[in-house]
A and B are shown apart, each in its own frame.
Chain A
Amino acid sequence: MIFKDYRSVDMRIKRLFVSIVILFLSGGWVVYSHFHFPVVQMENLEAPQKGFQSPTFSLYGLDGTAHSLSEYRGRPVIVNFWASWCTPCVKEMPTLQNVYADYSSEGLVMLGVNMTWQDTKTEIGKFIEKRGITFPVLLDSQGTVSQLYRVQALPTTFFIGVDGRITDVIVGGPIPDAAIRAKVTHLIERTP
C-alpha cells in the first residue's frame, strides 16, 4: 500500500516535471522565434492578396485618360475586373454603379478594369452607354494588369484601403449589393 502511494507520488512529480519542461521550452521557442523569424509587415509586400499592398498599375481609360492606381492613394478604391461577354459581370455592373453613385461623394474610387485583350472596344462602349456607367473603365489591352493581379475568374473585385492595402478579394459574382456596401462602409470608416 505504502509502496503504491510512493509510486503514485513519483508519477505525479514526473508528470509535473515534464509539463513544466514543455512549458519552459515552449516559452523559450516563442522568444527565440520572435528574434530569429521576425514578423514581416504585409502592407510592405506587393501581392494581389488580402492583407498585401496592392500592386501598382497604370492604364488608359476608354476616353483616353491615363489612370494610375497610385494617384488614388489616400482614398478607398474598388478595382473590378470584368468583360462585356461575362454574364455575372454584366449583372453586377448596375450594383457597382449604384454604390459608386452613393459613395463617390465620400471619396470612393471605382475602377472597372476591362479585359480588353478578350473583349472589343466597340462592345465595351456600347455596354457602358447602355448601362449608364459613370466610373472610369480602364482598358487592359495586353492583359498585363489582369496577369499582375492573377485574375483567374471573372468578375474579380479588389477592395483597397486608403493605405493601399488590399482588405478583401471577391472572386466571382454578382456580389450582393449589401456586401459591396458593407465593405465600402468598412473602407470609409477606416479613412482618417
Chain B
Amino acid sequence: MLPIIQVGPLSIQTPGLILLASGWIAISLVEHYAHSFNLSADQLIKIVFTALVAGVMGGRTLYILQYPSAFSSNLLSIFLPTPILFDAWGGLVVGILVGLISAQKMGLPLWGVLDALSPGLAFFGIGLGVSHLSSGSFFGVPSSLPWSIFLWGDYRHPTQVYEIIFALAIFGIIWFKKNKTGGTSQSYGDLFLTFLALSAFSSLVVDGFRAETAWLVGIFRMSQLMAWVILAISLFFLNRRKRVTEIN
C-alpha cells in the first residue's frame, strides 16, 4: 500500500497517478489499433475526448447541483481545476452517454466502436486494480491463507491482487481475440461483449472475497448481483450474435 508518493515538497496521490497513467496508455492503445477495426483513429480519439470533456463537465455540474450553497459565496469556484468538486458516478454516466451519441452522430458502427475501445478498457482495468492496491481500498475479508496480506488491522484476502490477476487475464484474452477476429464487420460486437462478460465474471468472483461493499440488496452484495445480470445479458447477446452469424 502506497497511497502517497513524496517528491520533495510535492505529495502525489499514487492511486490518481496510476489511473492517469493507465488512462493515457489505454487511449494510446485505442488510437494505435483503431485501423484493426477498420475505424479512423482520429474519429475514435475525438469520441474519447468528447466523452472525457463531457464527463468532466457533467461531473462538475452535478456536484454544483447537489451543493449549490457551497458555491454561492464565490461563483468563480465553479471553474476551479480540482477533482474534489466532482460527482464521479454522474460524470461517468454523462461521459458514456455523450460518447455514444457522438459515435452515432459521426455515423460510426456502435459495436465496432465498442470493440475498438475494448483493449483500452481492458488495460485500464489493470490500472484500476493497481490503484486499489496502492490506496488499500476494496480490501478483502480476514484470512489465514499463506498469501493473505496485512491490511487494516488484520490478515486479509488480497482482493486487489486477485483483481489485478483477473484484469491481466482479461487483457490477454481480449488482445488474443482482437488479433484473431478484430476488423471484420461480421464480428463487430463480439470483442466488447466478451470483455463485458469476462469483466462481470471477474467482479462477481473477486467481490465475493471483499470485506466492504457500498450497497447490499437484502443479504447479498449489490455489486455481485449487478455483475451477474451483466454476465447474463452479455452471454445472451454473444449467443444471439453467433447464431445470426451462423444463419448468415
Mark A residues whose CB is within 8 Å of B.
8, 11-12, 15-16, 19, 22-23, 26-27, 29-34, 37-40, 42, 45-47, 49, 51-52, 152-153, 170-172, 175-179, 181-182, 185-186
Candidates B13, B70, B228, B232; contact of A30 at CB < 8 Å: B228
Least distance between B157 CB and chain A CB atoms (Å) = 8
> In the bound complex, do residue B11 and residue A152 qualify as a contact, i.e. CB atoms below 8 Å apart?
yes
B13 with A171: CB separation less than 8 A: yes
Q: How far is the CA of A145 from the CA of B243 in the complex (A)?
A: 63
Shortest CB-to-CB span from A184 to chain B, Å, is 8
**CA distance in complex: A16, B74 (Å):** 59
Q: Within the complex, which residue of B77, B208, B219, B232 is in contact with A177, where a contact is CB–CB below 8 Å?
A: B77
| Total B residues in contact with A, Cβ cutoff 8 Å | 52
* Sample of 21 A–B contacts (CB below 8 Å): A12-B239, A19-B236, A26-B231, A31-B220, A34-B221, A37-B141, A39-B212, A40-B211, A46-B153, A47-B153, A51-B212, A152-B4, A153-B4, A153-B6, A175-B84, A178-B71, A178-B77, A178-B80, A179-B70, A181-B67, A185-B70
- Known contacts A26-B231, A37-B208, A186-B67, then 17 further A-B pairs from the complex at CB < 8 Å, ordered by chain A residue: A12-B243, A15-B242, A16-B239, A19-B235, A29-B205, A33-B221, A37-B141, A39-B216, A47-B152, A172-B11, A176-B80, A178-B67, A178-B74, A178-B80, A181-B70, A182-B66, A185-B70
Contacts of A45 in B (CB 8 A): 152-153
- Residues in B66-93 with C-beta less than 8 Å from chain A: 66-67, 69-71, 73-74, 77-78, 80, 82, 84-85
* CA distance in complex: A152, B242 (Å): 54
A12 surroundings in chain B (CB, below 8 A):
239, 242-243, 246
Cβ of B186 within 8 Å of any chain A Cβ, yes or no, is: no
User: Which residue of chain B has the shortest Cβ distance to A169 in the bound complex?
Assistant: B3
* Smallest CB gap from B200: residue in A: A26
Interface residues of B in 233-248 (CB under 8 A from A): 235-236, 238-239, 242-243, 246
- The answer, yes or no, to whether B149 is at the interface (CB within 8 Å) is no
A19 to B235, CA, bound (A): 6
Segment 96-147 of B: residues with Cβ below 8 Å from A: 136-137, 140-141
Going nearest first, the 3 A-B pairs with the smallest beta carbon separation are: A33-B208, A153-B11, A181-B70
* Complex partner residue of A29 from B137, B204, B242, CB under 8 angstroms: B204
Question: Cα distance A29–B205 when bound, in Å?
Answer: 7
Q: Chain B binding site: helix, strand, loop or mixed by DSSP?
A: mixed
B212 to chain A: which residues have CB within 8 Å?
A: 39-40, 42, 51
Name the residue on B nearest A50 (C-beta): B137
Partner of A176, one of B6, B77, B213: B77
Given known contacts A33-B224, A185-B69, is B84 in contact with A176 (CB within 8 Å)? yes
Give the nearest-CB partner of B246 in chain A.
A8
* B209 interface contact, C-beta 8 A: yes
Binding site for A on B (CB under 8 A): 3-4, 6, 11, 13, 63, 66-67, 69-71, 73-74, 77-78, 80, 82, 84-85, 136-137, 140-141, 152-153, 157, 201, 204-205, 207-213, 216, 219-221, 224-225, 228, 231-232, 235-236, 238-239, 242-243, 246
A153 to B13, CA, bound (A): 10
State whether A30 touches B74 (Cβ < 8 A): no
The residue of chain A having its C-beta at the shortest distance from the C-beta of B66 within the complex is: A182
Which B residues are CB-close (under 8 A) to A37? 140-141, 157, 208-211
- Give the chain A neighbours of B232 by CB distance below 8 A: 23
- Residues of A within 8 Å of B69, CB to CB, are 181, 185
Residues in B whose Cβ lies below 8 Å from that of A29 = 204-205, 208
Cα(A107)–Cα(B52), bound, Å: 39
- The residue among A8, A38, A176, A178 with the most chain B CB atoms within 10 A of its own CB is A178
* A158 CB to nearest chain B CB (Å): 14
How many angstroms between the C-alpha atoms of A91 and B32 in the bound complex? 44
Task: Indicate whether A170 sits within 8 Å of B4 (C-beta atoms), given known contacts A27-B228, A38-B141, A181-B67.
Answer: no
